[in-house]
Copies of this chain bind each other. A is one copy, B any other.
């Protein structure tokens, strides 16, 4: 190369690249608050090679494919920080019920009849399709038969953190805690080299897991360097029961059992005292905020404005389609922003850029994946989504970040890539045909109705 080009970064693939995306705007999430105009994203081998002005990109790279997207904004694919993906098959099966009645009377009995590898595979497939269609590129799951979830995610080419569920009750999947753990770890052994998958230990909740089981989990998490993913402080009942049974609140119990760490992810965290937010923050732990599900089950509203203020990281999850009833991370992001303002009485909290951060990099940090996903940064995986913002329904438009949070919906997502592979193109889902998905859903609907 001549001297004039020497200022440019020299890479193995200089010049020839797989894909160049030229949207009107890019919100890279890092640095915070930035909106790039007329920049391009160069992608090679599934990774982000470069982010640079489009005029420079056209000089510097010879892409095999160029996607020019006027009127579109590209942002990191959203991260759904808490799901039970297979439960897409229970979408709308049990409404208007409080958590324990919802579990005991509706969900658990039908799970006892139907939960199986094929149920989990098919439900997760539907969930992956729904999430990819809506701009979600990674989800953090917790369900029985995690190997079937892993298989469905990989089949769809979607990134997933697979929670290896542990519960002190027998199920179709496992007989006891030892069985849950050995099956979970066998699943991890089988899939651990897949670049799309990561794993965590997923004790269901304080009220379904014993101290002895938590102690085993703490040891394993430490030995295997695995995160812990647990429902925590979801309802007042959970806290009251813990006080009665253990004399302390659930978080204090987990603290005493040695579970807190920077790899600890508390899902829901609806009822947290200030000292508990401070405790979690001190450990560098994380929260999965699931606003729709918490409202729908009558659990309450998590204090995310206070978490933000005290520096406790949180991401956003949908929970399952049985308590939401959709896996719509755009709707959750908007709701998180609205609730933070409404509940704190302060309209300035959780602004659009902060909400986008929670739905992307906040989730990546919670999964320990912040070095590979969650922002549009050189070297990270090209997990991206493009949102069309020039439809007349969305106009006028004064601020792209605000429009993403407050105006756009998942239906405005036009393109999605996972590791640089096109999953959604002009609104069409590529990995699987919609007719197959509809047939699969209807087949299971009939089986559920016949239980």
Contact = CB atoms under 8 A, between A and B. Distances in A.
Interface stretch (A92-100, A242-250, A366-374): A92-100
A96 B126 CA distance: 36
B438 A300 contact: no
Interface stretch (A1-9, A22-30, A51-59, A442-450): A442-450
Contact of A324 (B91, B326, B406, B409): B406
Interface string A390-411: 1111111111001100110101
A352 B92 CA distance: 11
A299 interface: yes
A226 interface: no
A92 B297 contact: no
A395 B445 contact: yes
Contacts of A349: 298
A295 B445 contact: no
B91 A407 contact: yes
A301 interface: yes
A416 to B, nearest CB: 14
A341 interface: yes
Chain A interface helix/strand/loop/mixed: helix
A239 interface: no
Nearest to A354: B96
A398 B342 contact: no
A133 interface: yes
Given A393-B133, A438-B392, A92 B299 contact: no
B300 A448 contact: no
Interface in A341-363: 341-349, 351-352
A185 interface: no
B342 A301 contact: yes
B409 A342 contact: no
Nearest to A324: B406
Interface in A72-116: 89-93, 95-99, 102
Contacts of A438: 390-392, 395
Contacts of A98: 346-348
**Most chain B beta-carbon neighbours within 10 Å: one of A97, A326, A395:** A395
Nearest to A292: B338
